[in-house]
Amino acid sequence: MPAHVKPVAGPHVDARRPPTRGQVRPQAVAAPPLRTRDVGRSTNVRWHQATVQRADKERMLCQRGCVLWFTGLSASGKSTVAATLESILHQNGHYTMLLDGDNVRHGLNSNLGFSAEDRAENIRRVGEVAKLAAESGILTITSFISPYRADRDAVRARMAPGDFLEIYLRVPLALCEQRDPKGLYKKARAGKISNFTGINDPYEEPTGAEIVLDPYDEEHRMYSPEELALRIFDHLTIQQYLLPVPSTASF
């Protein structure tokens, strides 16, 4: 860990150590395609092996590619903590990509709504993009409510062990409603928004998240976004996703 980054006493973290960098990377467990609709399939498509291998890219970037999958209710702080984490990683010389739930609906997923089927397709597409980025050695941060456990688990199943880190912002519904920066909870309570997670559509809590972040410490002091982000940074360092960056590196 860089000398100027100090560990922060923070929220509960349930960590499962991934394979170390020196080990042969295991293959992802076979799983059904993440597909919720028939958009056309071809039997003439073959996988093209890259000339530049993942390990070569990771050595150059001084990091192990992975997907940091933020999940939680609307207004739980996902986007804020995700953006803060990306800034800290960048300041420490690491290469990232951030996929935000609102932003992808302006382009990649602009044709999707909020039905259960569309939400599943939303997560499927994002999962595939994130997988490709992680396999290129990029620390890929995603910030999505992703309310259904099956959808999140399906994304995990598509990736090699250790490539998917689920980060659950365990913020109570009451606190999220109190924040309500976009006024969405108020509209949902008034019946102006249907299928709104936490009000008239369920949120299924993770059962095996690698990192669980609570909003308060034992003295009921609220953590800052920086404290939560640094907790994740510490986890990535300890679990060897981050390697020392040469002082001559320029980003």
Give yes or no for residue 34 having a pLDDT over 60: no
Say if residues 242 and 65 touch (Cβ distance below 8 Å).
no
pLDDT-based confidence at residue 249 (cuts at 50, 70, 90): low
pLDDT in tens, 154-184: 999 999 999 999 999 999 999 999 999 999 9
Whether 99 is covered by a domain: the verdict is yes
Whether 39 is covered by a domain: the verdict is no
Give the range of the structural domain holding residue 146, as residue numbers without chain letter. 65-239
CATH number for the domain harbouring residue 146: 3.40.50.300
Q: Check if 146 is active-site.
A: yes
Q: How far apart are the first and last CA of the chain?
A: 18
Domain count, the chain: 1
Give yes or no for residue 149 having a pLDDT over 90: yes
Pairwise CA distance, residues 220 & 216, whole Å? 5
Whether 233 is covered by a domain: the verdict is yes
pLDDT in tens, 178-209: 999 999 999 999 999 999 999 999 999 999 99
What are the DSSP E strand ranges found in 120-184?
Answer: 139-143, 164-169
Whether 2 is covered by a domain: the verdict is no
With residue 117 as reference, give the H or E element that holds it: helix 116-134
Catalytic residue among 146, 194, 247, 250: 146
Whether 26 is covered by a domain: the verdict is no
